[in-house]
Structures are given as structure tokens and as C-alpha cells.
Amino acid sequence: MVDLIENNKSTIDGGGTITTYASQVNHLVTYCYSRGMDFLDLTDNDFTDFVFSLSRNSHQPAVPERNATTVLNIGRLALRFLDFLGRHLCDTPLVGAQGKINAEIRQVKDRRRHGWSAVWHHRSFPAPEPINNKKPIGTDSLEALKAAAIECSGGSHFILMRRLAMILLLEVTGCRRAELNGIKTHDIRRALRLSQPMLRVPSLKKGGNRIEMREIPVNRSDLEFVDEYIEVSRRVLRRQLGFKGEDAGFLFLNARTGRQLTTDTITAEFRNLGRHAGLRSAVSPHLLRHRFITKIFVAIRERYRFESADEFTRALQNNLALQRELMQWTGHRSAQSLYVYIDATYSAPEIKQFVADYLRHR
């Protein structure tokens, strides 16, 4: 954990990257504690059993089995943790070719960095899953989500409007769930006062605990819908819950407490809406981010008449101004993270519709 802090990993949004790492290491802690084992006493067979236990997930039968990517992430971090302990506390290697746990470091393709990364590997690890290209949520699925929000809000006008405002802002800003949860009422009102509305959105994933802001053009009618939620639904909820003057200003509130929503609640909202809508694939807020970014890439493709993904990639690599423009809109820290969207710009099922939308609003 000290290493992560020194490397400027985020603790924002309930702990950020550091909390994610801690929760993954906790699987190894639980495994050793339940068996009365010391970390330094683990053998290669013990580690193999640990990895298999991750796949079985037998202690929580109601929880779906973990996929290969999740098992790999937990296993790799466990080896990294054990290697750290071994180097600092043991006279002989704990992890490595000559260690009690026989493992090696391999180079694997890193989709996020558009390159290669060194990671630990153990014989018990499952085969990596195929790279899942960024697939945007389809128009039909998006409309089904909106219909589900109307149908399953339990008669609560506040929850209905909150859900519709969430879907709308994710669709038109492409923000991450934690960024959505950081938007405040004054951000909406400030954008509405501008002759050409630009919504300020928190930019996370910038490294460490820095919170920067980026501005995204948003249609006035969309902002007016969100402002209606603020002035009517949100205001009524606060009055009903006994709030008077104090207001932290966060846009999305918990219907029972009147406090800021958690990001996990936002994820759960979309998962529940997806189930109610009968959508086969799991639904998450990030699918709307993929939709937003893919539509931007489609617009650029049409503007510059790029005939292939390779041509688009070469042009983006050589155009620093375009890279900066895209990074401003999407909130990416590195231009390397943009390239994964190029393939979707040519292959996603919704592309024809996105092209038609671009030509209609050009």
C-alpha cells in the first residue's frame, strides 16, 4: 500500500485504486486466516489451491463465479504482495523461479497503455479472456433503460427523475460514474447561464487525488431537464426530509437520507434497470461512456474521411491537437487510452446509426 501511495495512486471515491488493491489482497488474507497459515509458510501447492478457490467462490453460492480476468488480477496482485514480503522478510526467495511459490514475470499486452506490461504469472492461472473491445450501449437498449426507469420507480417521482437525469447526463457527457456523482447543482446552473452551454465535470483518473475539471458542450434542453429535477424533485425531497439551509450541492441524493449517493448505488441502479428491461448483457454506467466516446470518434472519422482503423490510428498518432481535444472531451490522462475506441468506430453494431446521427446534426 505504501508503494501505491508513493506512486500517486488515487484514494478518491471511497479509496480509489488503493481500496481496489486492498480488497483484492484481502482474498489472500482471508484464505490464510481461515487455514491458520502464515503468508511466509505458503507453498506452491497452497497458492494453487488459493487460485482455484477464487474460481470456485464456493463460500458465497449466491455470488456468480469470478471470470478469468478477475481471477488473474487477484492472483497477480497476490504474487506481487508475497514477493514484497519475501524480499523484505526472508533469506531465500518466496516467489520466483527458485522460490517456494514457483512463478515468473511475463510481458502481456496492456490494452489501456496500448503497449506491454510486466506481470506475475503462475501455472494455476486461467487463460486470459479475449480482449473485450469497447462496445457502446445500443440505442434500443438505451431506450429500454429509460422505459424501465419509468416503469419501476415504485411511484416515487424523485427516483424516476433522478434515474432519468442520471441516464441523460451519462449519455451526453460520457463521464465516469464517480464523475457523475461529483457534479453539483451549481455546475448545471452555471452551464445554463452561458450562451453556449458548457458543463463542468470532475475529471478523475488523473493520478493521485487531484480533481481537475473539464468542460463538455451540452444541449440547453438537456440541462433544462436536469434543472427541473433540481428545482422540483430534489428540492421537495430535501424539504420532506427536514433539510433547511445546509446543502452540499451534490446533484444526486439518496432518497432516504438526502445525502450524496454512493457510486456503488449508481452501479446498482443501472444493473436493476437492465434486469427490469430484460437486457441480456449486464448493464453498467460505463456503457454510456463508451457510447459517448464512440460517437465522438465516429464524428471525427466522418469529418476527416478516414477509410480504415489503421488510417485513423496513424492520423491520431501524428495529430497532437486532435489528441488534446479528445482527451479534454473524454477525460483520459493518456492519449494511448484513446486508440482502443478506434476499432469500435468501424465495427460496433450501432455505427450506422451513429453516422446517421452525425450527418443529421452536422
pLDDT tens figures, 106-130: 988 765 555 678 999 999 999 887 6
Instruction: Kindly tell me if the per-residue pLDDT of 209 is higher than 70.
Output: no
**The pLDDT of residue 5:** 45
**The pLDDT of residue 333:** 85
Instruction: Kindly tell me if the per-residue pLDDT of 58 is higher than 50.
Output: no
Please state the rounded mean pLDDT for residues 36-40: 96
Laid out side by side, the sheet with 95-96 consists of 95-96, 101-110, 115-122
* Ranges 9-13, 188-192, 236-240, 302-306: which has the least confidence: 9-13
Q: How confident is the model at residue 62 (pLDDT cuts 50, 70, 90)?
A: very low
Label residues 271-299 b or e (16+ Cβ within 10 Å = b): eebbeebebeeebbbbbbbbbbbbbbbbb
Instruction: Kindly tell me if the per-residue pLDDT of 173 is higher than 50.
Output: yes
All residues at 6 or more sequence positions from 256 whose CB lies less than 8 Å from its CB, including other chains: none
**The pLDDT of residue 315:** 93
For residue range 338-358, what is the model confidence (pLDDT) as tens digits? 888 888 788 767 777 777 776
Q: How confident is the model at residue 21 (pLDDT cuts 50, 70, 90)?
A: confident
**The pLDDT of residue 76:** 94
d(CA 217, CA 107) in angstroms, rounded, equals 40
**The pLDDT of residue 131:** 58
* Ranges 16-30, 59-73, 286-300: which has the least confidence: 59-73
Q: How confident is the model at residue 6 (pLDDT cuts 50, 70, 90)?
A: very low
Take residue 256 and report the three cell numbers written for it. 432516504
**The pLDDT of residue 16:** 54
Q: Which of 53-67, 195-209, 307-321, 327-341 ranks highest by mean pLDDT?
A: 307-321
Q: How many CA atoms lie within 13 A of 264 on its CB side?
A: 4
Please state the rounded mean pLDDT for residues 63-78: 84
- For residues 270 and 137, the answer to whether their CB atoms sit within 8 Å is no
Dmax over CA atoms of the chain, in Å, equals: 69
For residue range 210-219, what is the model confidence (pLDDT) as tens digits? 678 999 999 9
- Please report where in the chains the cell 492461472 appears, as a residue: 125
Average pLDDT, the chain: 87
The proportion of the chain whose per-residue pLDDT surpasses 90, expressed as a percent, equals 61
Please state the rounded mean pLDDT for residues 4-20: 56
Instruction: Kindly tell me if the per-residue pLDDT of 141 is higher than 80.
Output: yes
Q: How confident is the model at residue 14 (pLDDT cuts 50, 70, 90)?
A: low
**The pLDDT of residue 61:** 45
**The pLDDT of residue 346:** 81
Strands (E), 46-197: 95-96, 101-110, 115-122
The proportion of the chain whose per-residue pLDDT surpasses 70, expressed as a percent, equals 86
